[in-house]
Amino acid sequence: MITWQAGKIVEKKQWATDLYSIKIDADPLPFKAGQFTNIGIEREDEMIYRPYSLVNSPDDALLEVHFNTVKDGRFSPLLAELGVNAPISVANRAGGLLTLDQVPETRTELWFCATATGIGPFLSILNTADIWQRFDKVVVCYATKTAADMAYRDDLNRLLIQHPTQFRFAPFITRETADGAIHSRFTTYLESGALEDLVDIAFDVDSSHIMLCGSSVMITDMTRLLEQKGLRRHSRQQPGHIAIEKYF
Ligand SMILES: Cc1cc2nc3c(=O)[nH]c(=O)nc-3n(C[C@H](O)[C@H](O)[C@H](O)COP(=O)(O)OP(=O)(O)OC[C@H]3O[C@@H](n4cnc5c(N)ncnc54)[C@H](O)[C@@H]3O)c2cc1C
């Protein structure tokens, strides 16, 4: 059973139609960068809730969630209606395997591949010191439908300046052409070999670890293509190379 704590929305940002981030003031929630928790809204004596990844890093005072609204969805349209000062409930536990402690010690190259709001857990990890101390190379492949949907792009560009030799950022926009982004899916790029050329890093069974977050279509396609390169799904019981979190 979920134990809830009371929180309050203290900031809200709309990035595009149906795309938001909110910051929540609540009691400290112990979590590892990359994990998710449940967010709840009380309606007519019922708690409606869904899991959401935390965008903030564990040291930050406020919790941050990045979300899109799903047409006819039960929860996300309610969440989008809430404004600053609205009460919101936060579960008192976090979970999920997109965390650095799940990456086998020998890996030196870490790939994050996200569709849309799936960038959230990776931002949390990218904003910790651990990742930059531990990995030689960090690659972010981030795909959205439109340029306006590419939330947090400035933060990712800032990381490029801070970590010019370690960090590679590959933005993909699928439904329009946009400056500084590739008009394609990253799965198409991976399949043709262009993705590895673009970032100048090859997938390798000894050194690569890949985290995938977002739509099930992307996760299925990426997993199939990476398995063809000899990489295996990761689980707590069977350490591998590909850790996933499916949003839908
Ligand atoms: C571990 C985990 C972490 C998650 N973290 C996030 C997050 O950080 N940000 C975020 O926006 N969502 C996240 N999700 C998805 C989120 O929990 C909800 O499923 C989503 O917001 C839709 O809820 P809903 O009640 O509005 O729709 P529902 O009424 O639950 O679902 C309606 C339909 O919409 C589909 N659907 C669900 N999500 C999406 C989507 N994003 N785009 C298109 N169709 C969708 C479902 O498959 C379902 O068929 C996460 C899911 C999981 C399992």
**DSSP symbols for the chain:** -PPEEEEEEEEEEEEETTEEEEEEE-S-----TT-EEEEEEEETTEEEEEEEE--S-TT-SSEEEEEEPPTT-SSHHHHHH--TT-EEEEEEEEE-S-SGGGS-TT--EEEEEEEGGGGHHHHHHHTSHHHHHH-SEEEEEEEESSSTT-TTHHHHHHHHHHSTTTEEEEEEESSS--TTSBSS-HHHHHHHTHHHHHHT----TTTEEEEEEE-HHHHHHHHHHHHTTT--B--SSS--SEEEEE--
pTM: 0.97
Q: pLDDT value at position 125?
A: 98
- pLDDT above 70: percentage of residues in the chain: 100
Could you read off the pLDDT of 115-144 as tens digits, one per residue? 999 999 999 999 999 999 999 999 999 999
* Ligand 1 pocket, Cβ-based, cut-off 6 angstroms: 36, 50-53, 65-68, 70, 73-76, 117, 120, 245, 247-248
| Mean of pLDDT values over 160-167 | 98
Ligand 1: which of 15, 70, 152, 211 to mutate, most ligand atoms within 8 Å of CB?
Answer: 70
- 18-56: pLDDT as tens digits: 999 999 999 999 999 999 999 999 998 899 999 999 999
Domain assignments of the chain as residue spans, ordered by start: 4-95, 100-246
What pLDDT, on a 0 to 100 scale, did the predictor assign at position 240?
A: 96
The pLDDT assigned to 10 comes to 98
Least confident of 155-159, 229-233, 234-238: 234-238
Q: How far is the CA of 58 from the centre of ligand 1 (A)?
A: 23
Q: Whose CA is nearest to atom 43 of ligand 1?
A: 70
Interval between CA 241 and ligand 1 midpoint (Å): 25
CATH topology identical between 4-95 and 100-246: no
Banded pLDDT at 12 (limits 50, 70, 90): very high
Q: What's the CATH architecture for 4-95?
A: Beta Barrel (2.40)
State residue 245's pLDDT score: 98
Averaged pLDDT for residues 194-203: 98
Q: Does the domain made of 100-246 have the CATH classification 3.40.50.80?
A: yes
